Amino acid sequence: MAEYNKENHKDNQKKEELEVITLYTNRVAKVVQGGKRMKFQALVVVGDRNGKVGVALAKGQDPRSAIEKASSKAKKSLKKVALNETTIPFEVMEEFKSARIFFKPARQGTGIISSNAIRPILELAGIKDIYTKIYGTNNKVTNAYCVIKALERFN
């Protein structure tokens, strides 16, 4: 009977290498009796550049704890994105609250034509060639969740 070797089993399991990018941090003050309570808010994107991406928003006592909380929440909410080589399979127009986003496939070598708010999300999803346009709002949080909702339509 063959012996079970834990070390070989660990080597055979490939752990996903997830990258974490902080899109947005903000200082939030809550006025209470006796003064103000300061907290920090962070919007984080997590992805493997191979079709999995997640976004989360979290608050913490300091910026580092807010980023750690948001990254752990984003890892739990990873979404699978179906890709067509380096681009998306078809055009899509998606709405989330006041944000509207339009995605259009691009030829290979075009690159990511988008704003600063959604470029990291598309890069971590593994999309290399795409045209995008945002309508309605410049709020990074709303735009990030709108991008995730649009990417879910490709499954």
Range of the domain at 113: 82-152
DSSP 87: B
**Tell me: the pLDDT tens digits for 25-62?**
999 999 999 999 999 999 999 999 999 999 999 999 99
Shared-domain flag, residues 51 and 91: no
Q: Is residue 110 part of a domain?
A: yes
**Alpha-carbon dihedral angle through residues 48, 50, 56, 59, given to the nearest 10 degrees:** 10
Q: What is the pLDDT of residue 155?
A: 82
- Per DSSP bridges, beta strands 130-135 and 112-113 are parallel
Out of 60, 79, 98, pick the residue that ends a domain. Answer: 79
